[in-house]
Chain A
């Protein structure tokens, strides 16, 4: 594996009191890659991406993004550097319209203003299939629309790296394909994507490389076939 210095996670450790959520996890994600992060519930996936996006600080180890050591960089600056994320449980700005939800990252992260911001918001809404809902209150959206808004809002930050935290949880099979289509399109535009997901069909179809976490440790890494054939992964998911 050759590291190109795009995203380097080196020996990242995170404790919550006496609980070891991450023990010395290392990952290298290459530019333009479709990377999958899987593992049973409570294995530390979300903790790891919280450390990458900056909402949590790792206790040890370091994360380097395009040459920037992120250790002391607050979350909003990481977003401006090009790391955007969606949340597992959608966190829309509920008092705003769908379009205004996009205006926040457009203004604050992508530095787009006025007419420019309006144009870009429209383009993202079109890509997400949310054009008709532009002026609806975010609080009134359905589950799938909420998921799309979550991704669209992350897109509005003009990321180089998009971390999609269970963007498909709770969706029907057709809706999963819908979101996958969008993610493939974003990747085709050059955006690196880290997908955290429980829906194996989606992970196997989408990801070029997958890392598996179990109880805070990385137990496997490789292509989809190698992961499916891996005995340790099977043990982690199914037990002995």
Chain B
């Protein structure tokens, strides 16, 4: 049943994506769709640690920016191609995730969250003071030339992000339906009991932080080509941390579908609001929707649907 839903969503996404690139629509749509898909990756990645394992990460921006700045270094120093950028972004952010994983030995609950927030501040300060990647001024990145099959480079980036989103969802689905996912849920419910029931809690938490961090990094890797001008305040934007947390909360945190629903709904709302009202309103909208959900539907849209269906969990 779950497997079928997963298959339908993936096939739907591929078809919609192909159709979209064949349409030759206004370039703005590709820009907007890229951002929404990027949030599908970030929200899905956040949920592997926050939703499945119960460790709330406020440092999404750090992992995302680490992916982006790894790309900046590789583009500037080695003119590396995009596949290399993606692999490198995933690897470097994955390593940071592994490091964060060891923090869970000593820090739980809100203290872990504060540490991840601090991590973002520390990394941003380091980047601001690193001239090679442009420091506080930022750095321009020149996109490679035109590509076959795609009308523009943004269309190509859109296709790349679509594949990344499908990849991220597949990873989350695999974790969720495997023994690892059940072990993570046990950790979320009660870490001490999980350990005493034979669950290797440290190893599973390290897997969760590494996979989560690595997916966030891979989402940031194409960012320099997308914006063509990278500066710390945009790469480390608070939006990433807030959105990647709010989207799973709104969609529902216990399954892979939740973050996808949340990212598409909230991401689309933000894009529409940016064009029709003002871009400054984005976070306000997120805030209001999040407060409404926490009060009215604490288990997100999926929880709400379950409850309306008659509630198998009543």
- Which residue numbers of A lie inside 8 Å of B, CB to CB? 53-55, 74-76, 79-80, 84-85, 87, 91-96, 100, 103-105, 107-110, 137, 153, 156-157
- A-B pairs with beta carbons under 8 Å apart, 17 shown: A55-B192, A75-B195, A76-B195, A76-B200, A79-B197, A87-B196, A91-B192, A92-B189, A95-B185, A95-B189, A100-B182, A104-B197, A105-B197, A108-B179, A108-B183, A108-B197, A153-B193
Find chain B residues with CB under 8 A from A53 CB: 196
Cα separation A93 to B199 with both chains bound (whole Å): 13
Tell me whether chain B's interface is mostly helix, strand or loop, or mixed: helix
A94 touches B189 (CB 8 A): yes
A107 touches B179 (CB 8 A): yes
Point out the residue from A54, A74, A157 that lies within 8 Å of B197, measured CB to CB. A157
B310 within 8 Å of A (CB atoms): no
Q: Tell me the residues in window 232-258 of chain B with beta carbons closer than 8 Å to chain A beta carbons.
A: 254
B192 touches A109 (CB 8 A): no
B199 touches A76 (CB 8 A): yes
Of all chain B residues, which has the CB nearest A86? B196
Cα separation A137 to B185 with both chains bound (whole Å): 14
Whole-angstrom distance between the Cβ of B2 and the nearest chain A Cβ? 15
Kindly supply a per-residue 1/0 record for chain B positions 179-219, scoring 1 wherever the CB is within 8 Å of any chain A CB and 0 otherwise. Answer: 10011011011101111111111100000000000000000
Kindly supply a per-residue 1/0 record for chain B positions 86-109, scoring 1 wherever the CB is within 8 Å of any chain A CB and 0 otherwise. Answer: 000000000000000000000000
Find chain B residues with CB under 8 A from A91 CB: 190, 192-193
Task: Report if A104-B188 is in contact (Cβ < 8 Å); known contacts: A76-B201, A137-B313.
Answer: no
B185 touches A157 (CB 8 A): no
B190 touches A105 (CB 8 A): no
Task: Report if A93-B179 is in contact (Cβ < 8 Å); known contacts: A104-B194, A108-B197, A157-B197.
Answer: no
Cα separation A183 to B196 with both chains bound (whole Å): 19
A109 touches B197 (CB 8 A): yes
Cα separation A93 to B196 with both chains bound (whole Å): 12
Question: For chain B, which range describes its interface: under 10, 10 to 19, 20 to 34, or 35 or more residues?
Answer: 20 to 34
Task: Report if A75-B196 is in contact (Cβ < 8 Å); known contacts: A100-B182, A104-B182, A104-B183.
Answer: yes
Cα separation A93 to B188 with both chains bound (whole Å): 8
Find chain A residues with CB under 8 A from B185 CB: 93, 95-96
Q: Tell me the residues in window 250-285 of chain B with beta carbons closer than 8 Å to chain A beta carbons.
A: 254
Cα separation A38 to B199 with both chains bound (whole Å): 29
Cα separation A85 to B313 with both chains bound (whole Å): 28
A55 touches B186 (CB 8 A): no
Q: Known pairs A53-B196, A92-B190, A105-B197; list 13 more (Cβ under 8 Å).
A: A54-B196, A76-B195, A79-B196, A79-B197, A87-B193, A93-B194, A95-B189, A100-B182, A104-B194, A104-B197, A107-B182, A109-B197, A157-B197
Whole-angstrom distance between the Cβ of B311 and the nearest chain A Cβ? 10
Find chain A residues with CB under 8 A from B196 CB: 53-55, 75-76, 79, 84-85, 87
Cα separation A30 to B29 with both chains bound (whole Å): 73
Q: Which 9 A-B pairs have the closest CB atoms?
A: A109-B198, A108-B198, A93-B189, A91-B193, A105-B197, A79-B198, A91-B190, A75-B195, A104-B186
Q: Tell me the residues in window 277-314 of chain B with beta carbons closer than 8 Å to chain A beta carbons.
A: 313
Cα separation A92 to B248 with both chains bound (whole Å): 25
Whole-angstrom distance between the Cβ of B287 and the nearest chain A Cβ? 27
Residue from B182, B183, B196 whose CB has the most chain A CB atoms within 10 Å:
B196
Whole-angstrom distance between the Cβ of A94 and the nearest chain B Cβ? 5
Whole-angstrom distance between the Cβ of B159 and the nearest chain A Cβ? 37
Cα separation A65 to B291 with both chains bound (whole Å): 52
Cα separation A93 to B254 with both chains bound (whole Å): 14
Whole-angstrom distance between the Cβ of A77 and the nearest chain B Cβ? 8
Residue from A54, A80, A104, A156 whose CB has the most chain B CB atoms within 10 Å:
A104
Find chain A residues with CB under 8 A from B199 CB: 76, 104, 108
Of all chain A residues, which has the CB nearest B193? A91
Whole-angstrom distance between the Cβ of A50 and the nearest chain B Cβ? 10
Residue from A76, A105, A109 whose CB has the most chain B CB atoms within 10 Å:
A76
